[in-house]
Structure 1
Amino acid sequence: MRLNRRIAVITGAGLGIGKATALRFAEEGARLVLAERDEARLHEVAALVRGLGAEVLPIPCDVTDESNVANLAQEAATLGPVSILVNNVGGGRSGRITDLSVADWDHTMTLSLRSMFLCTRAFVPVMRQQGHGRIVCLSSGARNGTVWNAFHVGASAYSTAKAGVTGFVRTLAIELADHGVTINAVSPGPIDTELAGPYLRRMHEDGLEYSPIRMTPLHRLGTPREVADAVLFLASDEASYITGTTLDVTGGADRLLSLLQSGCANPTGEQARIESFAVMRLKPSCQQNKGSESAVRGFRQMTADLTRRSVMSALPLVAGLAAAPVAAASPRGKALSAITDAEAAERLQDPATRARVRARVAGSCEAETVNIFYRLNVYGFTGEGNLVPFYTLNHLSVNEWTPLPGHRYQARTFECGVYCAFDTDDVLEEWKNPLTGEVRKPFQFLGGPFTVTHGPDGMVAMGAELTPKPMRMEAYGGTLFVSAMADMARPNPVSPEKFPKFSSGPIAYWDTVSTIGAPTAQAFDETLSSADAFHHFQNMGSWHPWMAMGSRPGRTYGRAAGVKVRSLDQIPASALKGLHDHTPEIFDRKGWTSPRFDILDYMAGNPA
């Protein structure tokens, strides 16, 4: 066995390349320390590793946190001296340079560079002491810039971070050489991971000229195992004379892009060879052209006119455990198969189809993060007269979806909301209650995480206050509607005896009804993980403590409308700024480890 009894630490081991590397190392006899911040995924992979007969120590860990990494090194040492480190964690947030926030940039550098630095620093001392070590870092073909990344919503932060991996490896190779420690990088191209694969394939299926499959000489996506094989090679004795190198596992995509960059700058005979190669690769998108001359013209237009935007607007930049928050883009330039209302009803008779469609419409039927933004207009209802406009809550929910066995799909949900003047994005620092005349300071909303598990016939919520009850799921007019309702009447956690000003009474009430709608064709499209969808709901709830309404008769009444957003920059800029300024936790959730409940959070602050 190539790694017989050697202790290997693999970060971001819960999905994709990290998971594949863990399994490949287990096959070669390594003893494994697996680091992953998603405990469910971590223990799932650990079970698979044990099934291969390998020794494994799973450690929940956020490798961007210095104290977490110190604990990881301490725990790993209980198995013995670590001789292999695989820095797999990375990822980032996409955005064009004028839209990219400082927080987005910093988040990407933290995932891809800080994590690598902290882990390498933690494990190098033991490698130097034993005079042997192998460090393998995951870079990306994006380090040189990739057409499909540049054209969807921008990838400057991710490309910069992955280029930094190359510099890190080259420099440390010299620093560590005298101690018998080698350090190299593996640079994957377009890989069919759980998170990225569906989007990469969709780009090809939609006939996009710059799709990664078309721009890859081997004309397919790579597999996580193929990347893991490269990592294994660099971690083994077979690579004992290799250090400071970045090994491309790209199906040749890096070579084609290199030729394009050099050829476009030097339109000579080399350009002709590039164009001939490109015609061969792009042939599926040039089928209507009757000769090679028109195909070459089409290619020249593609390389010269870089203002075209035919690439879908959302593609996660992923490696290991991180992904840009996105939902599936609607198909572009390709007609979806029509499905009648009657056909939809017939297909929904199958429980597996019903569960998958429900998840695809509500969020996703694959492992990905889906964002939903809506505006909730809130009124006061006293039981007399008309509704009284109160304020608008700009609301964002971040939903981390995971498929489960038994036709179930689970979302781990984080929520935030910012109170604004009614029907505007003007954040309220103070609010004058139109019913009492009192001026109050709004308490901005954070909630979760809680989980909702969707199945064929409804959903179950854990950690949330409400238990949703499914209503009919039906298609009409080319739209599939998924509806639910929920109600609650429970003892008020804010005691009216102890807090008469803030408690709405001994019982807290809540009623809501929600409808999600998606194009029927998308709802049943098995090439989509997430359908475009609008969200609408209405609710009535007891007065929130921050309003200081006491036991005054009445409730708040809310009407909300929103959609899945493929990227955060699709949220109106003024609303997004308010969310960034007042609920920053939603954008960087690594520190969000315990449940948040806004009513209890507000009361814990000793309100006046």
Structure 2
Amino acid sequence: MTTTPPAQPTPAELLRSLARTRASLDGEEVTYWWSGDVYSWAPDEPYRRVFGFEGLNVARLVQDADAGPDAYQLLTREAAFYLDPTSREILETWEDRPVVHVWNDPANQKWRPFPVPTTELGGQVCFSLEIPLAYPSPLPVAQYPEHSAGDTYKALELFQFFADRADLAGPAPGVPATMSWSRMSPWLPWMAQGQRPGGLTFHCRGRKLGSYDEVPERTRTYIADHHPEFAHAPEKWSEPNETSWTYFRKLHPVP
């Protein structure tokens, strides 16, 4: 007797599961927090842990009715901080240069059904997102020779979100989750490395918090003192997104 294999989830069903893992279908604010390290690499140089790294993202998921019943907008603000690699204190300077932390407002996404890559890990499901980036740099070398690695911005973002299969089988609009994130990128603009060969690798892990109040107190205080709006997600869609490169350009506009 042959058995019929279980039906595979549709792209819309997979996206809904990812949405419950990454955010919440009821539109409530969801905070992810992460911690890790940043490593440098360059030809003929040893790998070096140059920074600790800690950050958070506050998100609100809303239906994107104009794009169809299974489409969403993920409205987020994202803040992250470069740390002393030993003491884990938030840095204000590095090699006598001012540190520019991550203040991405907004960091929005439009989601449409697609075959989200998943891996069954015992009682868990892992959603994997691999995002290669390549586009004209907001910091052209001719205008920012000390702060631009090249006229094309190239990076690779690797996300994994982990949720319990039993939670996903339930009715809750959002489910508990953990995550990992790795990123390969050029030197940061404020590091003033110019076109020196090499770059950075970020290696972080984190989780979905019960509320923003679970963010470490030191980090909440720093945000409250500098940009208190980052304690909440945006109320509505806006564009373009902010990045460390566009933010640096705003701080240092071309005359």
Give the TM-score taking structure 2 as reference length.
0.85
Contact map agreement 1:410 1:451 (CA 8 A) in 2: yes
For residues 485 and 589 of structure 1, what CA distance do their matches in structure 2 show?
Answer: 24
Counterpart in 2 of 1:476? Answer: 121
Partner of 1:415: 78
Match of 2:41 in 1: 381
CA drift of 1:493 comes to: 2.0
Identity of aligned residues (%): 23
For residues 112-138 of structure 1, give each alpha carbon's deviation from its aligned partner in whole angstroms, at most 9, with x where no partner exists.
Answer: xxxxxxxxxxxxxxxxxxxxxxxxxxx
The AA in structure 2 aligned to 1:394 is: E
Match of 1:488 in 2: 133
Match of 1:511, as an amino acid?
L
1:457 to 2:114 alignment: yes
Residues 1:349 and 2:9 are matched in the alignment? yes
Higher relative contact order (CA 8 A, sep 6+): 2
Residue 500 (structure 1) aligns with? 145
**Superposition CA RMSD, Å:** 2.5
Q: Decide whether the 8 Å contact of 1:510 with 1:540 is kept in 2.
A: yes
1:14-35: per-residue Cα shift (whole Å, max 9, x none)?
xxxxxxxxxxxxxxxxxxxxxx
Contact 1:418–1:583 (CA under 8 A) maintained in structure 2: no
Listed as ranges, the matches of 1:423-442 within 5 Å are: 424-432=87-95, 439-442=96-99
SS at structure 1 position matched to 2:105: strand
Name the CA distance, whole Å, in 2 between partners of 1:449 and 1:578.
19
Does 1:555 pair with 2:215? no
Name the structure with the higher strand share.
Answer: 2
Corresponding residue for residue 573 of structure 1: 217
Whether contact under 8 Å (1:479, 1:518) holds in the other structure is: yes
Question: Displacement of 1:379 after TM fit?
Answer: 1.0
Structure 2 CA distance, aligned partners of 1:605 and 1:501?
15
Match of 1:446 in 2: 103
Q: Is the 8 A contact 2:139 2:148 kept in 1?
A: yes
In structure 2, C-alpha distance between the alignment counterparts of 1:589 and 1:532, rounded to whole Å = 19
Cα distance in 1 for residues equivalent to 2:77 and 2:18: 20
Q: Match of 1:379, as an amino acid?
A: Y
Taking a change above 3 Å as real, the CA distance of residues 515 and 591 of structure 1, as seen in their structure-2 partners, is closer
Secondary structure of 1:516's counterpart equals strand
Contact 2:77-2:232 at 8 Å conserved across structures: no
Q: Structure 1: any 5+ residue segments left out of the alignment?
A: 1-344, 433-438, 459-469
Residue 376 of structure 1 and its aligned partner are, at CA, apart by 3.7
Is 2:133–2:153's contact at 8 Å kept on the other side of the alignment? yes
Going from structure 1 to structure 2, the CA distance change for 1:387 and 1:523 (only over 3 Å counts) comes to farther
Report deviation, 1:482: 0.2
1:564-587, Cα deviation, whole Å (9 max, x unpaired): 111122122223323333432312
| 3-state secondary structure, aligned to 1:358 | helix
Task: String of CA shifts for 1:93-126, please: whole Å, max 9, x gaps.
Answer: xxxxxxxxxxxxxxxxxxxxxxxxxxxxxxxxxx
Partner-residue secondary structure (3-state), 2:190:
helix
TM-aligned CA deviation for residue 346 of structure 1: 3.6
Once residues 364 and 547 of structure 1 are traced to their aligned partners in structure 2, the CA distance between those partners, rounded to angstroms, is: 37
How far apart, in 2, do the equivalents of 1:537 and 1:382 lie? 21
**Displacement after TM superposition at 1:385 (Å):** 4.3
Instruction: Determine the C-alpha separation between the residues in 2 that align with 1:606 and 1:428.
Output: 20
Q: For residue 246 of structure 2, what is the aligned residue in structure 1?
A: 600
Q: Would the aligned equivalents of 2:24 and 2:173 in 1 still touch at CA under 8 Å?
A: yes
Q: What is the letter of the counterpart of residue 393 of structure 1?
A: F
2:25 aligns with one of 349, 356, 365: 365
> Residues 45-85 of structure 1, C-alpha deviation per residue, up to 9 Å, x if partnerless?
xxxxxxxxxxxxxxxxxxxxxxxxxxxxxxxxxxxxxxxxx
| 4+ runs deviating over 4 angstroms | 588-595
1:503-549 superposed Cα distances (whole Å, 9 cap, x missing partner): 112222101211100111112212x1111111101111111111101
Structure 1's 400 and 588: CA in aligned 2 closer, same or farther, altered over 3 A?
closer
> Which amino acid is 1:522 matched to?
D
What is the TM-score with the length of structure 1 in the denominator?
0.38
- Given that residues 31 and 210 in structure 2 are in contact (C-alpha distance below 8 angstroms), is that contact kept between their aligned partners in structure 1? yes
The 2-side partners of 1:429 and 1:562 are apart by 24
CA contact (8 A) 2:29 2:232 kept: no
* Structure 2 CA distance for partners of 1:346 and 1:533, relative to 1, 3 Å: farther
- Structure 1 counterpart SS, 2:195: coil
Aligned residue in 2 for 1:537: 181
- 1:456 is displaced (CA, Å) by 3.6
Provide, for residues 265-285 of structure 1, a one-character-per-residue CA deviation record: whole Å limited to 9, x for no partner.
Answer: xxxxxxxxxxxxxxxxxxxxx
SS of equivalent to 2:125? strand
Q: Offset of 1:424 from its aligned partner?
A: 4.7
Task: Report how many aligned residue pairs link the two structures.
Answer: 244
In structure 2, the gaps of 5 or more residues are none
Please identify which structure carries the higher helix content: 1
1:133-191 CA-to-partner distances (Å, cap 9, x unmatched) read: xxxxxxxxxxxxxxxxxxxxxxxxxxxxxxxxxxxxxxxxxxxxxxxxxxxxxxxxxxx
